[in-house]
Structure 1
Amino acid sequence: MSIQNCLNRLVEARRITQKAADAALALHQGIQGRLYPNMGPASAEAASALEAARVMMQAAQERRLMAAKQAIRQTEIANRMELHPKGKSTGLMSVLVRDNWEGGAQTGDAINIESHAESVSKKLLGIMNGTMDKYRSTMAGLRQDTESIWNVVDEIYGVDTGDDVAKAAAKAFGDTAKYAVDRVKREGKPLSVLEDWRLPQSWDAKQVKKFGERAFLDDLMTEYEAGNLRVIDKAGQGDAPKAAVPGIIQNAFKDITLGKGQGTGAGGFSNQLRVFRFDNPDTYKRLMKKYGVGSGGLFNTMMGHVQAMAKEIAFVEVLGPNYQQNFDKLLQAARDDDAVRANTIGKRI
């Protein structure tokens, strides 16, 4: 029985939704073409079906972990808000920054995102162990090594440059990113199951506008057709169909030039940064030098990414994997409490 027929029967039996079936089929087809291109049709079908089932099971486990962590963090913060002597709004604020009232101490845990982010940042920089210091700007910005830092890119991709400093920096950056990813995933934050990320991308809106949409589309299509660049269909969790690639690149141009998350501000673990996957360091360097960080911004991009990961970890570990959702719910509870307090001040109950 084909996986298509199997999924149809599961939908008919109401054991899975049509949306889940469509996602499983898209995943299966992407895996079959990418991992088993040389197998015969029957063997590839069976192998990719098994892999799709494994990935779907893993995704289900991650969703359960996310739901559990989300509920735990919401309950913890709600309890802190309830116990704070100055009310729920102040209690919620104490989760974000240091509590001047020290009211959070009543719960036995006064952790806040601001201080926690600083602590996590120190941990990540400790793993880096000063290996990027050579590339730091000195003499009030008058001196900076903007050339040999590109050796770090080569080393991250496994190219031996003979540059021991770059080699150490590349290993430290990889170790730091792995530690950060593992830590945030333990808290239930869902990340792409097809992740093969190496370096942050920083597309500069001014540079992209300067060269224009036609040049941007032509350059990326040239790299794509040469096999140097993969374009990912985020909805399908795999390589985009060839016919869809020009449209995805055009949408990326619009997102970058309008500031919709394709630059440095999309977050430490955001999949917005991963629509494009560079298969070799030369492609990364060509496109980033022309449309991104240029010759002087790679250091700030890499170190900025480390800081962004620290902030993301702090938010996830304090407020939960979907911290925006939890914050919105807790903020509404704080507003409701404020309304009650405003209506009862000076009144007898």
Structure 2
Amino acid sequence: MDAQALMAQADQAFALGDAQDGVRHLIALRKRDGLTPDLRERTERQLIETGYAQIEQLSGDSSGLDRIFRSDYPERVRVRAGILAAKALFEQDHPVSAFEQLKKVDRRFPHHSERAMAGDVLGQVGLHLIERKGRYSLFFRYRPKGTRALEYLVLHYPLDPRCDDAYYALSQYYESIGELDYALEQTEDLLIYHPSSPYAIAAQARLPYLRLLRLERNDYDRNELTIAAGEIRNWLSRHPGSELEGWVDELARVCATRLVESDLSLARYYERIDSLDGLQWHARRALALALDMQLERQAELARALLAPEERIPDDIRPRPAGNSSAPLDPASRQTP
């Protein structure tokens, strides 16, 4: 049967209200080689219009929409049907199946044109899963599946409006399970890729909080403490009056306490090895910060480490005349 005859049969089927038979003829025609440009364009247009009409009729029917996705309709029809099948699954309380359906669409049509719709559904699914307690299929937990959905979102749909929600939710989740490196990484990514996000102010405060949380020993990595202290100072200078200001003020005090205790720990080390310079350098620095932050207990501990003539309550004894340069931090020497 020639192409024109197939088109005539398709037109007749549609005229009689038999859309299924009409689509069958159009799909057969579409697979033919050698169609004229006009006939190919007409076939494609009619299939798309018919496919969209069927999708509208099947609204909310995940099985019916999935059948269209797996059919021989043009790509744009199949993509829309596949995404709407995922949306229907989500609305039917099958979020895991919805996520898997969206991945099927991407695998089959990796460069499809319905990315805005797919990203919207994926964002809803991922944010729902990461907050959902309990299990599916008896053994698997919803929340880890939510992390995979949100990580898939930020990787494959980086321009989706929900990506900042995803980064923030991922950071909170990883913190809750003790994966602090991942929590910090997600917070940093949020600020890099979405600096104008409504979450940005809170994320800027979370950075030093997470640094302090993952640092188990005050004397292990003073550099991390120093970075956190700088981030806290910057936050307080940029966001006066924020509803988080009280929490960040307390965080500043915690960070200062840990910096002081780091110096006290190092001062005691130098005391044990009879290095007076090292002891005094760290004890003086500890005392200065303790006085500045009104950490009375730590200030007393620092004074106790200093020689009696150096235990000045309000200031640090000046260096002898003729040597105004700051002393070398003994901790930076190759040999303590």
In the superposition, the TM-score normalised over structure 1's length comes to 0.19
Q: Hey, which of these two has a bigger chunk of helix by percent?
A: 2
- Which gives a bigger RCO, structure 1 or 2 (Cα 8 Å, sep 6+)? 1
In the superposition, the TM-score normalised over structure 2's length comes to 0.19
